[in-house]
Amino acid sequence: KLVTGENFDVVTGTDLTVPANQRSLEEYVRKHKPLVAVGGPPCTAFGNWSRLNRVNAPETYAKSRRSGLAMANLFASIAGIQAEGGRYFLCENPAGSELFQLPAYTALQRDFPIGEITFPQCQVGLMSPEGLPILKRTTLWSNAEELLVPFHGLACSCRQHGCLEGA
């Protein structure tokens, strides 16, 4: 039976932009050697909406980008630790995200075999508050093809979609 480890997230009170918390996460991964580490650096810094914010709200964009880069680089480090140890990682971000073009991520792709898949989240149950499916294309990266297999072949078959602008 698989067991879960600790969750390092702002929701659980861990601010991963704080260097001490980043070190704690890296130490935890090195010590406990989880089979799979899952991460999704904030899309506000790298997704399509961030390109609008870069022009329309440059100060907000700069702040978001700084914290996003800190968390993105942290997860790239975690992914590298996992891959070097013969373990796995799964990284999620919106399709078209600049995350996967960052130097830390292109280095991961250069150094380790990484699979990628993009799918519509309406096919895995993402719904608007009004109950309509949301067509949000998402990209997953992993060094374990087994983690990507459940998403193969997912294609939107919805007749209508709701909106989550800015989400």
User: Could you report how far apart the first and last alpha carbons of the chain are, in Å?
Assistant: 35
**Is the distance from CB of 28 to CB of 8 less than 8 angstroms?**
yes
Q: What is the pLDDT of residue 86?
A: 97
Average pLDDT value for residue range 66-74: 93
Look at residue 113 and tell me whether its pLDDT is greater than 90: yes
Higher-pLDDT residue of 84, 6: 84
State the alpha helices, DSSP H only, in the chain: 19-32, 48-56, 58-84, 103-111, 145-148
Confidence (pLDDT) at 122:
94
Alpha helical stretches, state H, 11-100? 19-32, 48-56, 58-84
Nearest to residue 41, comparing CAs of 92, 79, 108?
Answer: 92
pLDDT band at 167 (very low <50, low <70, confident <90, very high): very low
- 74-85: average pLDDT: 98
pLDDT one-digit tens code per residue, 144-161: 999 999 999 999 999 899
Place 165 in a pLDDT band, splitting at 50, 70 and 90: low
pLDDT in tens, 38-65: 999 888 888 776 666 767 767 887 888 8
Reference 143, options 76, 61, 53; nearest CA is: 76
| Higher per-residue confidence, 28 vs 61 | 28
Tell me what pLDDT residue 52 has. Answer: 67
pLDDT score recorded for residue 166: 53
Model's pTM, two decimal places?
Answer: 0.89
CA dihedral 89, 93, 98, 101 (to 10 degrees): 20
pLDDT, residue 78, reads: 98
User: For the chain, what percent of residues have pLDDT higher than 70?
Assistant: 94
Token pair belonging to 89? 């990682």
Share the mean pLDDT of the chain.
90
CB atoms within 10 A of CB 119: 21
> Rounded distance, CA 58 to CA 52, Å?
9
